[in-house]
Amino acid sequence: MISVVVVSHSRALADAAVALAAQMAPGPDGPRVEVAAGLDDGTLGTDAAAVAAAIQRGDEASGHEGVLVLMDLGSAVLSAELALELLGPEVAGRVRLSPAPLLEGLVVAVVSARSGRDLGEVAAEAAGGLGPKTAHLLPDDGAGPCPEEPSVAGPTTSPHRVDAVELEVRGPHGLHARPAARLVACAAEVAPQTIVRVRNLTSGRGPVDALSLSRVATLDARQGHLLLAEASGPRAREVLESLTELARDGFGDLPRSGAVAEAAAVVDTTGGGVAGSGLDAAVGPVLRLDARLDGHGIPAGSVAEERVRWREALREAGERLDQLAEQARRQLGDPAAEVFEAHATLLRDPELARDVSRRLVEGQSAATAWAETVEATAAWFDQLADPYQRERAHDVRAAGERVLRLIVGAPEPESLGEGILVVEELDPGLAISLDPRAVRGVITWHGGETGHGVLIAVSRGVPVLTGEEALRDVPAGTTVAFDGRSRTVEVDPGEEVLTAFEELLDHRRRERDLALETSATPVVTTDGVPLRVRANVSSLAMARLAAQMGAQGAGLVRTEAVFGHCLQAPSVDEQAQVYGEIAAALAPHPVAIRTWDVGGDKPLPFMPTVVEANPFLGTRGLRAFVHDPRLLLDQLEAICRVAAHAEVQVLFPMVTTRSDVDLALTLLREAATRAGGDGLPPLLEVGIMIEVPAAALNVSALTEGLDLVSIGSNDLSQYALAADRGNGDLAAWSDPLEPAVLRLVRATCEGVPAGMPVGLCGALAGEPGLAGLLAGLGVSQLSAVPAAVPLVKERLRAGSMAGFREIAERALDCPDAASVRALLGQHADARRRESVSARPAGGTAR
Amino acid sequence: MADLESFRAWVADASATLTDQAEHLTDLDRAIGDGDHGTNMARGFAACAALDPEAGYNGIDAYLKMVGMTLVSTVGGASGPLYGTFFLRLAGPLAAADEVGVHQVGQALRAGVEGVVARGKAQLGDKTMYDALAPALEAFDEASRDGQDLASCLEAAALAAAAGRDATEPLVARKGRASYLGERSAGHIDPGASSATLLIEAAARTLV
């Protein structure tokens, strides 16, 4: 058993601390605790010679197993270090100087040493001795995780430092999950027994244990921050050198060559392409993940049993995550794989393990101990300033959930049966990994329609219904039928309702098949009016998919998504290449490239995020480039180059006033000159996004000098209705079919000069049932997710412009969104009755 | 040239000076520290001055090591291990010599100051004894390169130490107890730099 030495300025203080610790480990079988405190004459102070003697006594008592030295402050630390020098390297090699606060560290060390842990383990546990107190106090003060030194002490006062290096955080996202995981892995690999502590010199957070991913991530280290890594022990220098090297590479987070091509090639949001039914409706038994699996109230067995249960689940979850990472790497590339790898690293976090161990010893069940530890850790992330870092709370919960499932024997997310998945929220990870052949549809009981996960699922053709609070507690196995288009859901439906749904599905399936057959043909209404249906694309792969689906060009190329994987701004050459390939994929139709739309909920890795009280009303879109237009100029130059030989439209986002348009045109002309042209390229058309109500109402003043406008209906409705589109609680206020929103669409269509095309590229355009209404309001180009293109085209072909206008007029007169939906429902029924007579097998909706 | 008697005289002079200045040092320390520097230093050096000349050491290096260990065990505060290390390291380059000249004293001072830096991890401008010791060492070396004798070199070192000490006044402490005060530590001369200056000044009077 190792020994412990207490070094203090005060003999009385040391003796009292030892007595307190002895209470925790009573009896003769505790470790030897030697004291070196005060001077011989009773004054306060420390004596390196006395410390050396105490260490020597401890070393002998431990049978040379090792000595952990705990110190109070100032000279105690210096004296202990000098004592090691006096003792010589052989003895010093068996001694650890603990950075722990004296009392907390001593109590933990005595308990831990008594249980037979070796020096490294006791040292690690003692170093975390402040954890429980910090955790206890944190919710009130919100301070950093390890405030053991007052902040006025400044960054370099750490008295226990033996060796230290400064590390600069160069990656654009700071030390987020993946680079943090690499730091932990590096420290663990080089010298697992060496205590390495890291603090953020810039923000003052820390220090934290470098072996703990959860703690490292709480440093909130962002690009440009300076970290101080401190290590003590024989291999300190070695591990610090490795960390220095890792930091030089941006913790593995700086762009590698070819990253742009890779980014453009990855099907970033569509996963395995359109594999779902695309019918917007589904019938089947409820599948549940029980997203909030409750680990509480589960009776605990013996501490040993619970420990085995927990260890076993942890091991199994780790193996499964390794498999998933491998699978993701093959199918989706490195970035996707690293999400799973980061989860696996989180599970191996010694800080979590310590916390769980402590709870197990207190008699909690494995499930409860794990659930509470995970939640406490996630809470750390929740309170971080950087939104990107805050999202890591979700990683912690997701990784934690996987282990909890194994502990309580619930099925893991990947092995679901066939049916309809009911979850709280559809996160992007689940949306991309779920098997659309088995999961016929997804119902969420929280969250809005435009969440990222929902968009991914929809673009994969998986029917989704959001915000169905009533289904929160529906048990697994219950039969459910739902229709996303009419937003109806039936729980445990009777024979009659079930038959109606089956007929609806049958009808849609035939309509879809017909639409797919005719997807390549252009759209002309029955009364001869030509319309365009284009696609929203976020990658080259999606552009190719859109072309297969018969899209007449791209109505919106989301450039910030196309290059969302790039950690440094893509060069003009790289952008020109990617835009050129997207244009070629959809040729001969034009592609509308929207310039960087940053801000709000869309961070761009290579653009510094401005922290704003109200980002959606802040420096979004074009506004972000007023002071420093360099990134925008590069992009415009690339667009101009492509427009020299391909039909390209450029769209400026978040335009509000005429001076925005003037700025955009000035920058565009400058970029055209840089691209070597004489004036704007002949194949380039210039347009603006209409997303701000002010722009919709003043559109006639904005369109001078422009060729087209495109309505961003998601933003336009959230700004008109003053309801955050991502907030499921505001669903009652955020229906884009509110007549006020439709009037803004109408105002836009009426305000533009005669003949100027008006596009619409929000979620509305992807709903086949709304295509006629939008055309009737005056929208001439709808831009939808690729999967919806055939059906939207089919709907527009099936009606007359006169009929669409009539519907639009009646919708504008409706008092609210519900009335508009009812109106459209009646119209759909009437249309279906027509189609029933035309196609005998058709059915009714309900 | 300096012999064992010179070094014993140095320690005796330092002890007398520090006793004399104890109150002043303690006042300085009270402003930005825990107010015990004067008494700690006086106690430590008094113990060194009282070392029995017959007690088992022969040679300058053995004497200096004993002074170092005595300081370690009697000073109490952070100055104990720091000045202790200074004297322990000072002994290294002076091993097996009965008389030492300018060159060896220069080497010894360098070893001693480097020992202080290794122990305290201070940098220039941290408002510590190093802010007096570093310029002292530099001035000593420069005078030594100019071919001056030991007394002149130490004289130059003492002047430089005093200048370094005075320059600590506006600094914000980044080491030791004073660093807990942050900005409030500015406006006071550092007590460690003061005692280091007294020590070098004592050397200039005795190591000849």
- Chain B environment of A50 (Cβ under 8 Å): 73
- Chain A environment of B41 (Cβ under 8 Å): none
Task: Provide the strand spans (E) within A233-354.
Answer: 281-288
What is the architecture, at CATH level 2, of domain A303-408? Orthogonal Bundle (1.10)
Cβ contact, residue pair A74, B176, below 8 Å = yes
Q: How many domains does chain B have?
A: 1
Q: How confident is the model at residue A490 (pLDDT cuts 50, 70, 90)?
A: very high
Share of chain B above pLDDT 70, in %: 99
B78: domain CATH number is 1.25.40.340
CA angle, A241 as apex, A239 and A245 as ends, to 5°? Answer: 115
- Chain A environment of B76 (Cβ under 8 Å): 9, 39, 43-47, 75
pLDDT digits (tens, 9 = 90+) for A386-395: 666 666 777 7
**ipTM given for this complex:** 0.76
- Chain B environment of A154 (Cβ under 8 Å): 174, 179, 182
At A622, give phi and psi (nearest 5°): -55, -35
pLDDT given for residue A833 in this prediction: 59
Distance (Å) from the alpha carbon of A74 to chain B's nearest alpha carbon: 6
- DSSP β-ladder status, A195-200 and A226-232: antiparallel
Distance CA A54, CA A68 (A): 11
Q: Which of B69, B79, B119 sits opposite A49 (nearest CB)?
A: B69
pLDDT given for residue A337 in this prediction: 67
pLDDT tops 50 at residue A708 = yes
CATH fold for domain A136-254: Histidine-containing Protein; Chain: A; (3.30.1340)
pLDDT tops 50 at residue A161 = no
Distance (Å) from the alpha carbon of A116 to chain B's nearest alpha carbon: 33
pLDDT given for residue B197 in this prediction: 97
Two structure tokens written together for B62 = 């053995």
Q: Which of B73, B76, B121 sits opposite A49 (nearest CB)?
A: B73
- DSSP β-ladder status, A281-288 and A479-483: antiparallel
pLDDT given for residue A155 in this prediction: 36
Candidates B43, B73, B126, partner chain A, best to mutate (most A CBs within 10 A): B73
pLDDT given for residue A158 in this prediction: 38
Q: Exactly one of A146, A640, A749, A761 is catalytic; which is it?
A: A761
pLDDT tops 90 at residue A488 = no
Q: Which of A115, A96, A129 is nearest to A4 (CA)?
A: A96
Cβ contact, residue pair A39, B73, below 8 Å = yes
> Can you tell me the mean pLDDT for B116-141?
92
Least-confidence region, from A127-136, A512-521, A646-655 = A127-136
> Which CATH number, 3.40.605.10, 3.40.50.2020, 3.40.640.10, 3.40.50.510, labels domain A3-129?
3.40.50.510
Q: How confident is the model at residue B18 (pLDDT cuts 50, 70, 90)?
A: very high
Q: How confident is the model at residue A256 (pLDDT cuts 50, 70, 90)?
A: very low
Cβ contact, residue pair B177, A49, below 8 Å = no
Could you tell me which chain B residue has the CA closest to the CA of A49? B73
Least-confidence region, from A163-172, A425-434, A760-769 = A425-434
Distance (Å) from the alpha carbon of B186 to chain A's nearest alpha carbon: 13
pLDDT given for residue A211 in this prediction: 78
Share of chain A above pLDDT 70, in %: 83
The answer to whether A685 touches A651, Cβ cutoff 8 Å, is no
pLDDT tops 70 at residue A290 = no
pLDDT digits (tens, 9 = 90+) for B154-172: 999 999 999 999 999 988 8
At A557, give phi and psi (nearest 5°): -100, 115
At A457, give phi and psi (nearest 5°): -60, -45
Least-confidence region, from A323-327, A707-711, B202-206 = A323-327
> Can you tell me the mean pLDDT for A583-594?
95
Pick from A203-217, A320-334, B31-45, B192-206 the range whose average pLDDT is largest: B192-206
Q: How confident is the model at residue A385 (pLDDT cuts 50, 70, 90)?
A: low
pLDDT given for residue A508 in this prediction: 85
Cβ contact, residue pair B76, A45, below 8 Å = yes
Q: How confident is the model at residue A413 (pLDDT cuts 50, 70, 90)?
A: low
pLDDT digits (tens, 9 = 90+) for A542-586: 788 888 888 999 999 999 878 876 767 889 999 999 999 999 999
Q: How confident is the model at residue A333 (pLDDT cuts 50, 70, 90)?
A: low
Bigger pLDDT: A369 vs A338: A369
Could you tell me which chain B residue has the CA closest to the CA of A150? B180
Q: Which of A459, A480, A425, A436 is nearest to A287 (CA)?
A: A480
3-state secondary structure of A711: strand
Q: Which of B73, B84, B174 sits opposite A157 (nearest CB)?
A: B174
- Chain A environment of B120 (Cβ under 8 Å): 78
At A214, give phi and psi (nearest 5°): -65, -35
pLDDT given for residue A182 in this prediction: 78
Q: How confident is the model at residue A159 (pLDDT cuts 50, 70, 90)?
A: very low
pLDDT tops 60 at residue A291 = no
CB atoms within 10 A of CB A565: 20
Distance CA A505, CA A278 (A): 10
Distance CA A51, CA A41 (A): 16
3-state secondary structure A741-801: HHHHHHHHHHHCCCCCCEEECCHHHHCHHHHHHHHHHCCCEEEECHHHHHHHHHHHHHCCH
Cβ contact, residue pair A79, B80, below 8 Å = yes
Q: Which of A50, A74, A153 sits opposite B73 (nearest CB)?
A: A50
Cβ contact, residue pair A75, B182, below 8 Å = no
The residues on B that touch A, with CB distances below 8 Å, are 36, 40, 43, 69, 72-82, 84-85, 119-121, 126, 174-177, 179-182
Four-residue CA torsion sign, A757, A760, A765, A766? positive
| Omega of the bond leading into A588 within 30 degrees of 0 (cis) | yes
CATH fold for domain A518-813: TIM Barrel (3.20.20)
The strand pairing partners of A782, in sequence order, are: A533, A760
pLDDT given for residue A293 in this prediction: 64
Specify whether A761 is catalytic: yes
Cβ contact, residue pair A74, B177, below 8 Å = yes
Cβ contact, residue pair A75, B120, below 8 Å = no
Kindly write down the DSSP assignment for every residue of A335-388, as one continuous string: HHHHHHHHHHHHHT-HHHHHHHHHHHHTT--HHHHHHHHHHHHHHHHHT-S-HH
Residue A327's contacts (CB-CB under 8 Å, 6 or more residues apart) are: none
Cβ contact, residue pair A40, B73, below 8 Å = yes
pLDDT given for residue B112 in this prediction: 95
Q: How confident is the model at residue A457 (pLDDT cuts 50, 70, 90)?
A: confident
Pick from A248-252, A823-827, B46-50 the range whose average pLDDT is largest: B46-50
Kindly write down the DSSP assignment for every residue of B133-202, as one continuous string: HHHHHHHHHHHHHTT--HHHHHHHHHHHHHHHHHTTTTPPP-STGGGGGGGGGTTS--HHHHHHHHHHHH
Q: Which of A46, A50, A78 sits opposite B119 (nearest CB)?
A: A78
Distance CA A328, CA A332 (A): 5
The residues on A that touch B, with CB distances below 8 Å, are 9, 39-40, 43-50, 74-75, 78-79, 81-82, 150, 152-154, 156-157, 161
At A329, give phi and psi (nearest 5°): -60, -40
pLDDT tops 80 at residue A825 = yes
> Can you tell me the mean pLDDT for A327-338?
59
pLDDT digits (tens, 9 = 90+) for B174-183: 877 777 777 7
Q: How confident is the model at residue A258 (pLDDT cuts 50, 70, 90)?
A: very low
Distance (Å) from the alpha carbon of B175 to chain A's nearest alpha carbon: 5
Specify whether A452 is catalytic: yes
pLDDT tops 50 at residue A270 = no
Bigger pLDDT: A214 vs B123: B123
pLDDT given for residue A266 in this prediction: 34
Cα dihedral A810, A812, A818, A822 in deg (nearest 10): 20
Residue A303's contacts (CB-CB under 8 Å, 6 or more residues apart) are: A360, A361, A363
> For residue A161, how far is the Cα from the chain centroid?
36
Least-confidence region, from A273-287, A806-820, B6-20, B49-63 = A273-287
Distance (Å) from the alpha carbon of B3 to chain A's nearest alpha carbon: 26
Four-residue CA torsion sign, A550, A553, A558, A563? positive
Q: Which of A122, A186, A104 is nearest to A354 (CA)?
A: A122
Cβ contact, residue pair A78, B36, below 8 Å = no
pLDDT given for residue A127 in this prediction: 83
> Can you tell me the mean pLDDT for A619-633?
92
Average per-residue pLDDT for chain B: 90
Least-confidence region, from A430-439, A749-758, A803-812, B75-84 = A430-439
pLDDT given for residue A411 in this prediction: 66
Residue A754's contacts (CB-CB under 8 Å, 6 or more residues apart) are: none
pLDDT given for residue A844 in this prediction: 36
Q: Which of A128, A136, A83, A92 is nearest to A109 (CA)?
A: A128
- Chain A environment of B182 (Cβ under 8 Å): 152-154
Q: How confident is the model at residue A710 (pLDDT cuts 50, 70, 90)?
A: very high
pLDDT given for residue A267 in this prediction: 37
- Chain B environment of A79 (Cβ under 8 Å): 72, 80-81
Number of cross-chain residue pairs from A and B with Cβ atoms under 8 Å apart = 76
Bigger pLDDT: A273 vs A32: A32
pLDDT given for residue A762 in this prediction: 84
Domain chopping of chain A, boundaries: 3-129, 136-254, 303-408, 518-813
Residue A109's contacts (CB-CB under 8 Å, 6 or more residues apart) are: A4, A21, A31, A68, A70, A98, A100, A122, A123, A125, A126, A129
> Can you tell me the mean pLDDT for A527-533?
95
Segments forming the whole domain that contains residue B84: 2-206
Kindly write down the DSSP assignment for every residue of A398-449, as one continuous string: HHHHHHHHHHHTPPPTTS--SEEEEES---HHHHHHS-TTTEEEEEESSS-T
Could you tell me which chain B residue has the CA closest to the CA of A51? B73
Candidates B128, B179, B181, B185, partner chain A, best to mutate (most A CBs within 10 A): B179
Cβ contact, residue pair B79, A75, below 8 Å = yes
Candidates A41, A82, A87, partner chain B, best to mutate (most B CBs within 10 A): A82
> Can you tell me the mean pLDDT for A77-88?
90
- Chain A environment of B77 (Cβ under 8 Å): 45, 74-75
